[in-house]
Structure 1
Amino acid sequence: MAERQIKPWLKTALELGPPLLFFLAYMKFQDAQVTIAGTEYDGFIIVTAAFVPLLLASIAVLWGLTRKISRIQVFTAVLVVVFGALTVWFNDERFFKMKTTLVYGFFAIVLGIGLLRGQSWLQFVMGDLLPMREEGWLILTRRLAGAFALMALANELVWRTQSTEFWVTFETFGLPVFLFAVFMFQARLIERFSLSETEDDAGDAG
């Protein structure tokens, strides 16, 4: 089924809205305490419990509007549900913090496996959006695999050594800004290995 086009601002709001709302909700309710069935839950657990259905709802709306969900979104949603549930069930915020390490670590490992096979699995996901020669894809994949590995290590270091408030801010803004900067610095690489329309058409014909 072909992807339906929606306004860019709406797509961005659906993708970035839940993390931003998580951040705002935590800043407001971080000192809250709720007792349910004799168990006391702090603000982080409360906000996490609300975040999981919010994320699933935003993905459902995005799918309903576009009829397309990326593999990355599906994988991330699964981890959010699993580790969000573990966080609430065991009343332990460490599970949700580990989720970010696993997401970026998984991306780094998957891209690394492809590179060991001499392949760019990133090209498989993004090739239609970014026509580029195979050599360029391999270079870009190596750089992003390294970036994802660094992000996974950084998340581990931050959640284990810093306050929850610092981690929430770091996870909401620090990691995405870093990843955005990494992509921006690839402009020269993309320009260097970009396929011309003639080369792209020849590849499609082959």
Structure 2
Amino acid sequence: MSDRSRRHWVRYFVDYSALVIFLAAYFLTGRDMVQASWALVAGSVLALLVGLIVERRIAPFPAIAGGAALVFGGLTIFFDDPRFLKLKPTIMNSIFGAALLGGLAMGKNPLKLVLGEAFTMPPSAWKRLTLNYALFFFALAGLNEIVWRTQPDTTWMLFRFPGLMILTLLFSIAHAPMLMRYIPSDERPPPPTE
């Protein structure tokens, strides 16, 4: 396995292992979300340690997600109340949406800081992409509120993972045509010959 391939697997592990462990623990504990929170907290610590050991750093997004899982999972355990975990996607997505809109309001572009080297887009395209993602994060926050307040815990768990991941992937794929126009020409695949 190449070094680059190994790094991709490590990133997937760091990003998703805690959620997979949490989901598995939920079903293994007889659908007890508070008990499964112990697995979420342990899985988050493990994921961050693996990222630190293998990559010799903790990437910003896994650090934020892992830190939030520790805080909300810890609150769920301490207060014996799963509502803290159910509120986590609402709060985190709202923070992400507000950060993107706040950046735009201050004349900055947070997405450009993250993706700037991969795409060379004009300011208007960065602004549109940032606004789209901000609105998407707010929509996810609202959708989470609807699901956890109206559906059984098992439905919310499956919505949380893999549901939110699937929605995010589909949303990102929908932006692929726009982004493809701005990939530097030396990185684009060659046109078909036939």
TM category (shorter chain) comes to 0.7 to 0.9
Say which of 162, 167, 178 aligns to 2:167.
178
Q: 1:14 to 1:77 in 2, by over 3 A?
A: closer
| The 10-residue stretch of structure 1 (70-79 or 90-99) with the greater mean CA deviation from structure 2 | 70-79
Partner Cα distance (1:146, 1:75) in 2: 20
Say which of 51, 58, 64 aligns to 2:40.
51
Shift of residue 54, structure 1, vs aligned partner? 1.4
TM-score by length of 1: 0.81
Following superposition, which runs of at least 4 residues in structure 1 exceed 4 angstroms of deviation? none
Aligned to 1:36: none
Aligned to 1:29: 29
Aligned to 1:148: 137
| The 10-residue stretch of structure 1 (9-18 or 84-93) with the greater mean CA deviation from structure 2 | 9-18
Shift of residue 147, structure 1, vs aligned partner? 0.8
Q: Which amino acid aligns with 1:26?
A: Y
**Radius of gyration: which is bigger?**
1
Q: Which amino acid aligns with 1:30?
A: G
Partner Cα distance (1:58, 1:102) in 2: 22
Gaps of 5+ in 2: 187-194
Matched, 1:88 2:77: yes
Q: Which amino acid aligns with 2:87?
A: M
Shift of residue 5, structure 1, vs aligned partner? 4.7
Aligned to 1:103: 92
Instruction: Kindly indicate whether the alpha-carbon contact (under 8 Å) linking 1:133 and 1:195 is maintained by their aligned counterparts in 2.
Output: no
Q: Which amino acid aligns with 1:16?
A: Y
| The 10-residue stretch of structure 1 (104-113 or 186-195) with the greater mean CA deviation from structure 2 | 186-195
Partner Cα distance (1:54, 1:80) in 2: 9
Q: Which amino acid aligns with 1:170?
A: F
Partner Cα distance (1:18, 1:192) in 2: 35
Partner Cα distance (1:181, 1:89) in 2: 36
Partner Cα distance (1:9, 1:148) in 2: 26
Shift of residue 131, structure 1, vs aligned partner? 3.8
**Equivalenced residues, count:** 184
Partner Cα distance (1:70, 1:126) in 2: 14
Aligned to 1:122: 111
Matched, 1:191 2:180: yes
Q: Which amino acid aligns with 1:14?
A: V
Partner Cα distance (1:76, 1:58) in 2: 11
Say which of 142, 158, 163 aligns to 1:169.
158
Partner Cα distance (1:140, 1:102) in 2: 22
TM-score by length of 2: 0.86
Partner Cα distance (2:43, 2:180) in 1: 38
Q: Which amino acid aligns with 1:21?
A: I
Shift of residue 68, structure 1, vs aligned partner? 3.1
| The 10-residue stretch of structure 1 (6-15 or 134-143) with the greater mean CA deviation from structure 2 | 6-15
SS of aligned partner of 1:68: coil
Instruction: Kindly indicate whether the alpha-carbon contact (under 8 Å) linking 1:86 and 1:95 is maintained by their aligned counterparts in 2.
Output: yes
Shift of residue 93, structure 1, vs aligned partner? 0.4
